[in-house]
């Protein structure tokens, strides 16, 4: 069957994941790709119709609820609802890639919670300190036991760190902090008058400079002032502060951005 990915997508740098990337050409250059991967338009509520493929021929759909490398673009409510409805009706596994957006960065444990949907499979990593694939039992039946293994799995130290990350997020109410200060940060960025578009969820914030051709110059200038940001998409900049950032630290970031 076919795998469905979306334009602007980034799902990693291993061989299978590289075949799903659609954010930058360089992420697919020189690599062989797995066959039968189709590309649909991100945030198109009618993608399943416009793609013109028999649902019976679709093996899986994978999507980022908040695109990272593609430009820090949140999915729309309608797009996520229609994607979940389509995959449920046709019994197609919906895989949500939460590797960048998961573990509180958007103000919820998982970004998909903003859309009131439940996926079939979740990929997690980065903030968790370990990588994980979480899925419904029908896709990981207990009676089959261990599905596969690698030499790199089961790292005790990183597993302990993963538990600690979860405990600290709960203890310090960092989900609320991400939600409240993320909104404050976005509002302050809008007041600067430097950006044509400010968007985000929680503390995952993307901006597009009015002078978009100066994006890289702005990133380098920010680093010289001690403000570490990075480009994403064609002409955007991403802000991804730690979940325990405070209002004073945000004000310092804003002040540095004015210079």
Q: For the chain, which residues score pLDDT lower than 50?
A: none
117 Cβ neighbours under 8 A, 6+ residues apart = 80, 81, 84
pLDDT for the residue 62: 99
**pLDDT for residue 34:** 87
pLDDT at 141: 80
Distance from C-alpha of 51 to C-alpha of 53, rounded to nearest angstrom: 6
CATH no. for 2-169: 3.40.640.10
Give pLDDT, residue 148: 66
In the chain, where the domains are located: 2-169, 174-258
**Domain 174-258 sits in CATH 3.90.1150.10:** yes
Instruction: Give the contacts of 122 (CB within 8 A, at least 6 positions apart).
Output: 95, 96, 98, 102, 110, 112, 133, 134, 135
Task: Indicate the pTM of the whole model.
Answer: 0.92
């Amino acid at each position: 069957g076919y795998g469905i990915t979306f334009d602007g997508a980034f799902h990693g740098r291993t061989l299978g994941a590289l075949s799903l990337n659609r954010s930058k050409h360089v992420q697919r250059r020189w690599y062989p790709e797995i066959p039968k991967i189709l590309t649909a338009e991100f945030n198109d509520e009618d993608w399943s119709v416009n793609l013109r493929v028999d649902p019976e021929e679709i093996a899986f759909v994978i999507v980022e609820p908040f695109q990272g490398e593609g430009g820090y673009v949140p999915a729309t409510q309608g797009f996520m609802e229609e994607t979940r409805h389509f995959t449920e009706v046709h019994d197609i596994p919906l895989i949500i890639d939460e590797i960048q957006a998961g573990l509180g960065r958007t103000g919820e444990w998982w970004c998909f919670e903003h859309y009131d949907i439940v996926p079939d499979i979740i990929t997690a990593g980065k903030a968790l300190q370990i990588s994980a694939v979480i899925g419904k039992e029908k896709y990981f039946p207990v009676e089959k036991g261990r599905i596969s293994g690698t030499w790199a799995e089961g790292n005790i130290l990183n597993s302990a760190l993963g538990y600690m990350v979860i405990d600290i997020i709960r203890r310090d109410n960092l989900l609320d902090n991400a939600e409240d200060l993320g909104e404050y940060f976005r509002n302050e960025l809008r007041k600067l008058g430097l950006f044509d578009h400010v968007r985000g969820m929680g503390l995952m914030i993307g901006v597009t400079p009015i002078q978009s051709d100066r994006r890289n110059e702005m990133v380098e200038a920010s680093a010289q002032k001690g403000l570490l940001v990075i480009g994403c998409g064609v002409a955007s900049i991403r802000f991804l502060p730690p979940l325990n950032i405070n209002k004073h630290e945000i004000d310092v970031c804003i002040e540095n951005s004015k210079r």
